[in-house]
């Protein structure tokens, strides 16, 4: 008994130290999640489990288990942080950004890798049966039984907590399910493997069977034998691992929430989405074909050459086609947005040309397909010549992006990942299997907190929403140019103030300086005013209600700091 109490004290000290170190690691991972993803991939690749039956194999596999468990704990902590942050965003009526969606997608990949490795360990340590479970005569077999239990507790706690964090929230569950659908449709069978493993660990029949093994574990907890000091240390550590997450008593008491896939609720939402998407799709395909002339920049070599002298890789392009019927149904000034990838020469200068991202598209880029866009047929590449079937173009650019090689790579990755996806006639930024033009930029520049609006209960983003961020204080974007034409063969070079006016902003004389122009958003608002008036010849009063409308100007400020984003999603009045 004294030995058991001593082990409990050691465990408590171990947990306190581990918790402090874990919190420090979480802060580092929040600041640099990409490093977490890279290190996770490296560790998963390095960890291997042997299949021998001797003591050396057991010790080696125990060390690998320790390394993998620490990684799982680290990933779980970050996953919890991400879930809480996104739930806070969604609960306050705001929208997750593209970077957060990609973080969930990357976490799914990491959890698959960790689960596969733990499954290999389960195969090595699988018990011979309940009757011989935790027999003290064979120390190696006894240790393997403990290793099997420890593996189960780690996976169960991870899967169960992620279920509570991600699946219980209806909108967050929608994002996860949509990501799974996107991965499945793109041929990523790993996602199905992951969910098979999750189902096996969490399903009721398996939990009932495993519960019998944990009952035996409690019976033998103080009766294990020792055979060699190194084995004793390993077995002692496995006891720590099993007890660390305080899950054993819950498993034994069956005091765990029932697992639900929310099929009925989600099916209703999916049917509604399909119906509205189908209606919007038919409507969009019909009006999308209606054009009554060519754009004023169509086949204009002068405009093309002028643009080519200005364009830089990852410039954001906006266009207006007032001669197309679709433009009349898209709110705001601009009707379309796209991303300029760059020419072969530009990509070579950035050392991107020979990367695995660009190589599959080298031939097409050489042929002039340097723009990626989402149009009615889907997401694909196009040429500047085809893109210039327009009357107006504006270009904005992310500040200092050219100096951030890693972020440039990530933007290319996120953008090119969208190629081949269908057009999202629902304009829902939280879906990933279908995408609209402005959502392409929303996901590609995922670290930017773009302004969004809700339409029919769905978070949407329009080209004007993208463009207006240029006029926020502290904006990550800067204005490059705005060209338009009133007739073929002419070109008007608009200023930043012209562009601002077109999308509802005006220069602030009070806040502008010679070095920096500041803008306010111009909005027409109405409010109800109630006045009290005494009736003639009476002490009684009557209330007069009237609507008062007028123009209001407000400053918009952007801040990308995570602590600020948690409360304001990057922008506020």
- Half-sphere exposure of residue 209: CA atoms within 13 angstroms, side-chain side: 11
**pLDDT tens digits, 324-357:** 545 444 557 898 899 999 999 999 999 999 999 9
Query: Mean pLDDT over residues 16-39, rounded?
Result: 78
pLDDT at 533 over 70: no
Laid out side by side, the sheet with 392-398 consists of 378-382, 371-375, 336-340, 316-320, 392-398, 477-484, 492-494
**pLDDT tens digits, 274-309:** 433 433 343 344 334 445 468 889 888 999 999 999
Poorest-pLDDT segment among 107-111, 382-386, 562-566: 562-566
Mean of the per-residue pLDDT values for the chain?
Answer: 78
Structure tokens belonging to residue 430: 């939280």
Alpha carbon distances (Å) from 563 to 25, 31, 488, 559 = 17, 11, 50, 10
User: What's the confidence (pLDDT) of residue 193?
Assistant: 80
pLDDT at 273 over 60: no
Distance CA 125, CA 28 (A): 34
User: What's the confidence (pLDDT) of residue 530?
Assistant: 74
**pLDDT tens digits, 72-112:** 999 999 999 999 998 888 777 677 777 888 888 889 889 98
The correct CATH number of 286-505 out of 3.40.50, 3.40.1130, 3.90.1070, 3.90.1720 is 3.90.1720
User: What's the confidence (pLDDT) of residue 433?
Assistant: 61
> Which residues in the chain are classed under CATH 3.90.1720?
286-505
Poorest-pLDDT segment among 145-159, 252-266, 287-301: 252-266
End-to-end CA distance of the chain: 63
User: What's the confidence (pLDDT) of residue 316?
Assistant: 96
- Locus of tokens 């055979």: 227
Highest mean pLDDT among 187-191, 193-197, 563-567: 193-197
90 neighbors 566 (Cβ within 8 angstroms)? no
Q: What is the DSSP string of 197-213?
A: HHHHHHSHHHHHHHHHH
Please report, rounded to a whole number, the percentage of residues in the chain having pLDDT higher than 90.
Answer: 27
User: What's the confidence (pLDDT) of residue 184?
Assistant: 74
User: What's the confidence (pLDDT) of residue 103?
Assistant: 87
pLDDT at 242 over 90: no
Per-residue pLDDT band at 255 (split at 50, 70, 90): low
Please tell me which residue, 454 or 357, carries the higher pLDDT value.
Answer: 357
Distance CA 395, CA 483 (A): 9
pLDDT at 489 over 90: no
User: What's the confidence (pLDDT) of residue 332?
Assistant: 76
pLDDT at 412 over 80: yes
Spell out the residues 6+ positions from residue 426 whose beta carbon is closer than 8 angstroms to its own: 273, 276, 277, 280, 434, 458
User: What's the confidence (pLDDT) of residue 305?
Assistant: 95
Structure tokens belonging to residue 181: 């659908």
Distance CA 280, CA 266 (A): 21
Highest mean pLDDT among 129-133, 369-373, 445-449: 369-373
The H-assigned helical ranges of 32-54 are 33-46
User: What's the confidence (pLDDT) of residue 452?
Assistant: 75
Cα angle, residue 168 at apex, residues 164 and 171 outer, rounded to 5°: 130
Tell me the Ramachandran region of residue 427: left when phi exceeds 0, alpha when psi lies from -120 to 50, beta otherwise. Answer: left
pLDDT at 210 over 90: no
User: What's the confidence (pLDDT) of residue 538?
Assistant: 55
Q: What is the DSSP string of 87-156?
A: HHHHHTT----HHHHHHHHHHHHHHHHHHHHHHHHHHHH--S-STTTT-TT-HHHHHHHHHHHHHHHHHH
Please tell me which residue, 203 or 315, carries the higher pLDDT value.
Answer: 315
pLDDT at 189 over 80: no
445 neighbors 401 (Cβ within 8 angstroms)? no
pTM of the model: 0.63
pLDDT at 528 over 80: no
């Amino acid at each position: 008994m004294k030995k058991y109490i001593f082990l409990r004290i050691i465990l408590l000290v171990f947990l306190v130290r581990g918790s402090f170190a874990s919190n420090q690691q979480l802060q580092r991972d929040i600041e640099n999640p990409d490093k977490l993803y890279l290190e996770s991939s490296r560790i998963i690749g390095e960890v291997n489990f042997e299949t021998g039956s001797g003591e050396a194999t057991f010790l080696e596999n125990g060390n690998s288990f320790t390394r993998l468990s620490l990684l799982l704990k680290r990933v779980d902590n970050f996953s919890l942080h991400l879930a809480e942050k996104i739930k806070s965003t969604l609960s306050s009526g705001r929208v997750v950004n593209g970077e957060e969606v990609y973080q969930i997608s990357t976490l799914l990949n990491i959890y698959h890798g960790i689960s596969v490795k733990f499954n290999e360990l389960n195969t090595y340590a699988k018990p011979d049966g309940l009757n011989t479970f935790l027999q003290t005569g064979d120390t190696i077999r006894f240790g393997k039984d403990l290793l099997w239990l420890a593996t189960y507790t780690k996976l169960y706690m991870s899967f169960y907590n992620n279920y509570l964090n991600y699946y219980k929230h209806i909108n967050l569950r929608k994002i996860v399910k949509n990501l799974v659908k996107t991965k499945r449709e793109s041929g990523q069978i790993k996602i199905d493997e992951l969910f098979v493993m999750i189902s096996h660990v969490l399903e009721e029949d398996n939990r009932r069977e495993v519960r019998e093994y944990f009952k035996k574990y409690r019976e033998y907890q103080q009766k294990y034998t020792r055979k060699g000091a190194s084995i004793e240390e390993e077995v002692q550590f496995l006891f720590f691992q099993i007890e660390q997450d305080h899950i054993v008593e819950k498993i034994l008491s069956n005091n765990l929430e029932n697992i639900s896939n929310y099929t009925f609720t989600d099916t209703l939402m999916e049917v509604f989405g399909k119906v509205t998407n189908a209606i919007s799709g038919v409507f969009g395909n019909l009006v999308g074909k209606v054009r009554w002339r060519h754009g004023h920049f169509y086949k204009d070599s002068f405009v093309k050459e002028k643009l080519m002298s200005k364009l830089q890789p990852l410039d954001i392009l906006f266009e207006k086609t007032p001669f197309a019927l679709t433009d009349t149904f898209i709110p705001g000034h601009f009707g379309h947005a796209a991303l300029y990838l760059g020419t072969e020469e530009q990509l070579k200068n950035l050392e991107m040309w020979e990367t695995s991202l660009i190589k599959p598209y080298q031939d097409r880029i050489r042929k002039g397909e340097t723009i990626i866009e989402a149009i009615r047929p889907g997401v694909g590449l196009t040429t500047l010549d085809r893109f210039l079937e327009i009357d107006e173009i504006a270009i904005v650019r992310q500040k200092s992006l050219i100096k951030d090689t890693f972020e440039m790579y990530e933007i290319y990755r996120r953008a090119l990942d969208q190629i081949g996806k269908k057009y999202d006639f629902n304009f829902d930024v939280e879906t990933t299997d279908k995408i609209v033009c402005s959502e392409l930029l929303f996901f590609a520049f995922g670290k930017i907190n773009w302004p969004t609006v809700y339409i029919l209960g769905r978070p949407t983003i329009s080209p004007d929403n993208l463009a207006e961020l240029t006029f926020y204080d502290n904006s990550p974007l800067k204005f490059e140019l705005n060209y338009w034409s009133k007739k073929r063969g002419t070109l008007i070079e608009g200023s930043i103030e012209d562009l601002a006016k077109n999308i509802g902003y005006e220069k602030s004389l009070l806040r502008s300086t010679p070095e920096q122009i500041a803008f306010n958003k111009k909005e027409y608002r109405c409010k109800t005013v109630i006045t009290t008036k005494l009736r003639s010849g009476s002490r009684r009063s009557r209330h007069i209600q009237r609507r008062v409308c007028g123009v209001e100007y407000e400053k918009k400020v952007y801040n990308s700091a995570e602590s600020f984003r948690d409360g304001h999603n990057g922008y506020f009045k």
